[in-house]
Chains A and B, each alone.
Chain A
């Protein structure tokens, strides 16, 4: 995974943030932040999902296990969910996940759930910057990992997607 061009190596610790954004509100807000040229820290990498309700807590764990220093989940404001209440489902799981992460010794600033409406491009900018700054202070996440003991196997070892029930 290398190319001919060498990129400068960052001196400072640059945290890696994986963000799960819902298609309707937060991902759109991310696009709006772009259209408005609201510059923010380049540490956040967005994965688009249809709804924050799709965020399986195991996605968060997988991200942390694979080297993310922080995870951001972005969904519609309460009451605004495109699917009526996916964001509430996400919130419920998130709270349980937070308890679990605390027990694992993961600082609570590392995993955040934010409601960001389609019009709130500035909030994407603000949170990306805020989280990057916080994670810089916290330093890298160092998890002791014993692969395949708890949770799902790594994605590379995942079986192919189940396909039953799909109209071909």
Chain B
């Protein structure tokens, strides 16, 4: 290693045109000539696409022919192609860490309109890279074994699908769901567009597969408390909330629910969107998986006041009810994590002009899903709050989405969900249905055809964003009705449409605790609050934290087919990681120069991973290479300069500073 440092640098510089992406703004020939003039640069070349096979081949050949020991590639971001060029260098027998990239695409050509200024900036970055690369020394990636189990967080359709794919591939899967049952939003839907499959009919077989699969450990009513470790070796603490019913004993007979001292339900039934009441002890829904009762501590008299006749305990034939249950924790080790934490729906009260919460007959889409459902609060009858059947129904699209006041993004599924709902309402009630839309987006297999079908069925479509829903009647026909005021943009007039029922197609938005989950798993969120994928096109299920993958709506609004497809992709990526059996760790760890260390202990409390200890005999700090993640905080703090960081040594950074500042 030391021999190499003192070995004279022979640097090759490779400037990429990236088609016209770089070459249109940066005078690549000038930059090449400039690079060639720098000290220790033996060869400098340009090529149309350096990342292509011929480009890499050129670098490989040059390394051998010109006996290069350092390579600078000036092209796109190192986050994109560093590994490509490292591989090319390694193939020619050079240490892959003798490569440095200059980002002249994302940071120069794409953001600098002026060609001369872009060229100058590119020169400066290349100059810095050439200076820096001379300080590089050989490093090697360390291999760490991967734990073969996988954690899936969230038991909606995305989580269920990912878990089943992995379990069928023979992997051990932990599926953790915070609600008492898996199923997610899909379990609440009645039919699914565009084929009108019954949602429960296609979902429940999968739910029971989860329950019975020998490779799946299902933990419902549990949340992730803590995540530590890294790709291949995550240590996860799971918190099990007490359900006060022993899961292994309960068979879901429901005797306890009938026996509860509350004769009628008193508590808002979350599953039915508050359209019905449930008791403190309840089954989440008929097909709940696991089919186990749960006691809500917020309303159970025994838990709240300590006093109750406890009829449920008497009624349970299997003595499954246990008021002594306490919160428990389990620690698991997994190699990969799939986040499928889903979404919540936009709170329609935030748009007061639509009258949700003010007018009883303004519903959200999810509420009407429950009304349409045979297992729902009305047994599948679409009725108004007073029990009457609606004669006219207005469905308002884009409630909370495509709206600068709330969410600028399109929620993707509402057009199709509204079409489906229009079809169902018309089929069940014969009511006249109006759809108020901005643009109709039916862009997937069979969707446009479904739109045509709904059009043929005689559903009315009015193009325009609804201004308000009001009960202020100005014509006799409007008496006792809700009036939807809208500008019909195709006709160019403002219309008043009296209806009995208003359905709001509310936006999908990130879960309330998305930011907390994001922090827990150390990933990023995009500006809309959904989890950020590693690359919008080429890394749609990966995150910036290796080993953590995304599935379903937690990454952005999407429908069931897209969620399932993404879940499959996430499962495949996780499988790749786990089946490979090892991960290679970037050798950017910190180290201590024992001769310079005064043993002052400054670095020890700074390390977020407790990787630094003090060798009592030598009186110096020692960094555990397996625990160090390479942030470099200790290096910046070391008062005697004894701490260093591989790939980011002080000398390398000082050289880079000098390099970018030089007159070029």
Contact = CB atoms under 8 A, between A and B. Distances in A.
Contacts of A51: 631-633
Interface residues of A, number: 72
B471 interface: no
Contact of B661 (A42, A68, A158): A68
Max count, chain A CB within 10 A of own CB: residue among B6, B107, B518, B635: B107
Nearest to A23: B79
A66 B137 contact: no
A69 to B, nearest CB: 10
A92 B207 CA distance: 50
Contacts of B30: 3-5, 7
A119 B648 CA distance: 25
A147 interface: no
A165 B79 CA distance: 27
A66 B78 CA distance: 26
Contacts of B106: 30-31, 33-35
B37 A3 contact: yes
Interface string A143-168: 00000000010111011111111111
A1 B652 CA distance: 20
A91 B106 CA distance: 27
Contacts of A106: none
A23 to B, nearest CB: 8
A31 B544 contact: no
Given A24-B544, A93-B636, A83 B655 contact: no
A9 to B, nearest CB: 10
A67 B124 CA distance: 13
B217 interface: no
A7 B608 CA distance: 47
A46 B596 contact: no
B614 interface: no
B33 A79 contact: no
Nearest to A16: B661
A74 interface: no
Interface in B609-659: 609, 623, 625, 629-633, 635-637, 641-642, 644-646, 648-658
B186 interface: no
B631 A56 contact: no
B142 A54 contact: no
B79 A158 contact: no
A115 interface: no
Nearest to A85: B608
B648 A45 contact: no
Given A89-B637, A164-B591, A8 B657 contact: no
A51 B143 CA distance: 23
A55 interface: yes
A102 interface: no
Contacts of B27: 5
A80 to B, nearest CB: 6
Nearest to A45: B660
Given A3-B30, A168-B1, A46 B107 contact: yes
A25 interface: yes
Nearest to A27: B79
B593 A47 contact: no
B608 A166 contact: no
Given A119-B532, A163-B1, A165-B592, A42 B114 contact: yes
A86 B105 CA distance: 28
Contact of B636 (A54, A63, A66): A54
B116 A34 contact: no
A20 B216 CA distance: 45
A167 B632 contact: no
A82 B116 CA distance: 37
Contact of A83 (B111, B524, B608, B646): B608
Contacts of A120: 527
A129 B138 CA distance: 38
A117 B656 CA distance: 24
Nearest to A66: B661
B661 A18 contact: yes
A152 to B, nearest CB: 8
Contacts of B595: 164
A54 B645 contact: yes
Nearest to B120: A7
A1 B642 contact: no
B650 A50 contact: no
B325 interface: no
Contacts of B544: 24, 28, 82, 118
Contact of B653 (A27, A45, A49, A93): A49
Contact of A18 (B112, B623, B660): B660
A145 B510 CA distance: 53
B38 interface: yes
Interface string B199-222: 000000000000000000000000
A118 B140 CA distance: 28
Contact of B545 (A3, A25, A62, A82): A82
Contacts of B128: 45, 47
Interface string B564-593: 000000000000000000000001100111
A59 B645 CA distance: 14
B34 interface: yes
A133 interface: no
Nearest to B39: A1
A50 B649 CA distance: 12
Nearest to B654: A155
A48 interface: yes
A89 B30 CA distance: 42
B662 A1 contact: yes
B27 to A, nearest CB: 7
Nearest to B634: A53
B424 interface: no
A47 B526 contact: no
14 contacts: A37-B111, A42-B118, A45-B125, A45-B661, A50-B588, A50-B648, A54-B635, A54-B636, A118-B524, A118-B532, A161-B644, A161-B651, A162-B649, A168-B138
Interface of B: 1-2, 5-6, 27, 29-30, 33-34, 37-38, 77-80, 103, 105-108, 110-114, 116-121, 124-125, 127-128, 135, 137-140, 142, 518-519, 522, 524-527, 532, 544-545, 587-588, 591-596, 606, 608-609, 623, 625, 629-633, 635-637, 641-642, 644-646, 648-658, 660-664
Interface of A: 1-5, 7-8, 10, 16, 18, 23-25, 27-28, 30-31, 33-35, 37-40, 42, 45-51, 53-57, 59, 62-63, 66-68, 79-80, 82-86, 89, 93, 117-120, 125, 152, 154-156, 158-168
